[in-house]
A and B are shown apart, each in its own frame.
Chain A
C-alpha cells in the first residue's frame, strides 16, 4: 500500500518526508518495545509506536523499516526529527490512538509483519 494512502487513512501529518511518494508499505509493526521492533520488524514495514525518542529511528534504520508513524498525538523530540532527516526515514504523526490506527490499517488490508 502506498504510504500516501496510509497518511490519508489515519489523517496523518508528515514531520519528515524521506520520499513519501515512492514508498510502498508491505506490512505493519506496532510496538513500544524496541527489541520487538528489532526482532519482528520487516523490510518495507511501517512502524506504529507512541515512543518519541531517536532510538526509534535507529531501530527503524537498522531493521530496514522506511517509515515511522507516531500515534496518539505523540510529538517527536528534536533529536528524533534530526535523525530521521539524516537517515531519510519518513516520520509521521496521527492523533488517533495506536489501537484505532492499527485497526484502520488492518481493515484496509495491511497485516502484521509478524504474520508475514
Chain B
C-alpha cells in the first residue's frame, strides 16, 4: 500500500449479538497485521476496537465499525443507534458503568471501556446524543509505518 493510498472498510454490528462479539475487531486486526503495521499499533487498535465494539453490543440496538487508513493515519469510527451517554464525564471515570449485572457476569461492565480506549488511542473523540446514539472516533498515527 503506497503512502497516499486510501484503504477503508466497514463492519455491521448488532446489539445483543454476544455470540459474534469481537468478530469485527478480530477481522480488523487481521487486516492491519497483513498490511505490515507494527505489532504495538495493531494491538492498541485491536484492543480499542474491541472495547468500542462491546459497547455497541451491550448498549445499542445496532451500529457500524468503519476503518480508514489515509495519510499515515488509521481512523476507527463507531456509530451506534443506542441510548446515548448522559454524562461523558462520568462515563470516562474508571469503574463507572451502566451495564446490567448479567453483562458483568460475562466479564464486562467494569467501567473500563472508554478509559481503555482513551489510554491506547493516539486521539479519541466522542460525540453523543441521548436517545439517538453515540459516535466514537479513534485515531492512530502510522507515520514511519510501511503502509
A residues whose Cβ falls under 8 Å from a Cβ of B: 32-36, 38-39, 43, 49, 51, 53-56, 58-59, 61-64, 79, 87
Contact = CB atoms under 8 A, between A and B. Distances in A.
A79 B20 CA distance: 10
A33 B43 contact: no
Interface of B: 18-19, 21-22, 25-26, 29, 39, 43, 46-47, 49-51, 106-108, 110, 112-113, 116, 119
Residue with the greatest number of chain B CB neighbours at <10 A, chosen from A32, A34, A63: A34
B43 A55 contact: no
Contacts, number: 66
Interface of A is mostly: helix
A53 to B, nearest CB: 6
Contacts of A87: 26
A59 B39 CA distance: 16
Shortest 7 CB-CB contacts between residues of A and residues of B: A35-B112, A58-B22, A34-B107, A62-B46, A33-B110, A38-B47, A51-B107
B84 to A, nearest CB: 21
